[in-house]
Amino acid sequence: MNIKERVRSLLKEAELYKDQRLLKEARKKYTDVIEILEQQSRIQNRDALIAAVEKKRDSLDTAIIKWDQSRVNPEVSGKVQNLIKRLFTASEEGISDEENGINEAITLAKFGQYRQALEEFSRLVHLPIVCASAAKNAIKCYLELSESDECIEAVKGWWQDCCFTPEQYASITHFMQSAFEKSGLDLGDAMAEPQVGFAGGEDFTAPIDDDIIDITSIGINFQSGPMEGQHVEIDVSFQSGSLLSLIVASSEKALLQLLLKGTAIHDVDFYSPIAIFKGAAVVESNTGILSGPKKGDFSLDIRINSI
């Protein structure tokens, strides 16, 4: 293929990729053309040709930047939001309308529809059966929308409107403290301290059943120590409520050293058949297996603390 044919073929390819909205692939072909032309000194109007192709490539660059910067989950129309709620909220028998309302609003938030979800959570905060769950989810939405000041005002307003019991308010402000910290924000003493004791430690955003869902495996994300930055997945061999039994091979010496009895695991992915849940756990036992096909390996029991 001579140069002219080669250039023509590459340009044709580039145009086709552009039509297919394969922008990066099209850009690559234009770049190939420019490089070929730059090596040819005998082509008439070479500089004009290069300039023309560069112009096409620049226009692609603009489109690529625009695409890269476009929001992943922009707010969509109410019609689409209703469809999202209808199609992606798990139908559960025996739950109240209020709880279903929470589930629908959570679905919206999962699809990045924070403004509408916030509107729905703010309405649900006034219903006693779901007020605490609605408030916590609303706090998350406010933070996703970078509206921390509005969040503080809203929670204070709900408290003044007597939406919560003192225990619920304590739980919500504790959750808020943690959520603000995770977003790199300082809540300071913006929230009034309730006059009740609160054990703390609650860190979930969705209403969860009393029974812990089946967990098929867990993923531990090590944030410090010798395995810092590593993610280790382990299958669950047996589950009894929130107690999970795992088998770890004796060859995993570093892992076994980090999972000694009493160790708190702060960042765990719990894999279930329906979703992955983030949470924390504590190692309740770590014992060597003395007989059977897994002899020499280790049996670990870990207790789910939060999910």
Task: Decide if residue 272 touches another protein (CB under 8 A).
Answer: yes
Task: Decide if residue 1 touches another protein (CB under 8 A).
Answer: no
Segment lying near another protein (by CB under 8 A), choices 65-73, 160-168, 184-192, 196-204:
65-73
Q: Are 201 and 247 in contact (CB under 8 A)?
A: no
Task: Decide if residue 95 touches another protein (CB under 8 A).
Answer: no
Nearer to another protein, 8 or 123 (CB): 8
Taking Cα atoms as reference points, which of 133, 141, 277 lies closest to residue 207?
133
Task: Give 287's contacts (C-beta < 8 A, 6+ positions apart).
Answer: 298, 299
Taking Cα atoms as reference points, which of 253, 257, 217 lies closest to residue 238?
217
Segment lying near another protein (by CB under 8 A), choices 132-140, 158-166, 249-257, 267-275:
267-275
Cα dist. 47→19, 151, 214 in Å? 26, 58, 66
Exposure pattern of 143-179 as b/e (b: 16+ CB <10 Å)? bbeebbeebbebbeebbeeebbeeebbbbbbbbbbbb
Segment lying near another protein (by CB under 8 A), choices 31-39, 126-134, 265-273, 299-307:
265-273
Task: Decide if residue 88 touches another protein (CB under 8 A).
Answer: yes
Whole-number Å distance between alpha carbons of 281 and 259 = 11
**Least CB distance to another protein at residue 298 (A):** 24
Chosen residue from 6, 21, 55, 231 binding another protein by CB under 8 A: 21
Segment lying near another protein (by CB under 8 A), choices 37-45, 75-83, 172-180, 181-189:
75-83
SS3 (DSSP) at 157: helix
SS3 (DSSP) at 152: helix
Task: Decide if residue 209 touches another protein (CB under 8 A).
Answer: no
Task: Decide if residue 87 touches another protein (CB under 8 A).
Answer: yes
Nearer to another protein, 161 or 235 (CB): 235
Chosen residue from 2, 41, 44, 91 binding another protein by CB under 8 A: 91
Task: Decide if residue 16 touches another protein (CB under 8 A).
Answer: yes
By CB under 8 A, the residues from 181 to 200 that bind another protein are: none
Task: Decide if residue 75 touches another protein (CB under 8 A).
Answer: no
The residue assigned the tokens 């890269």 is 68
Task: Give 238's contacts (C-beta < 8 A, 6+ positions apart).
Answer: 244, 245
Burial class of residue 221 in the structure, from the number of CB atoms within 10 Å of its CB (0-12 exposed, 13-18 middle, 19+ buried): middle
Task: Decide if residue 204 touches another protein (CB under 8 A).
Answer: no
Task: Decide if residue 65 touches another protein (CB under 8 A).
Answer: no
Burial class of residue 117 in the structure, from the number of CB atoms within 10 Å of its CB (0-12 exposed, 13-18 middle, 19+ buried): buried
Task: Decide if residue 292 touches another protein (CB under 8 A).
Answer: no
In the structure encoding, which two tokens stand for residue 181, read together?
């910290």
- Note the residues at the interface with another protein (CB under 8 A): 9, 12-13, 16-17, 20-22, 25, 28, 63, 66-67, 70, 72-74, 76, 80, 83-84, 87-88, 90-91, 93, 110-112, 214, 216, 271-276
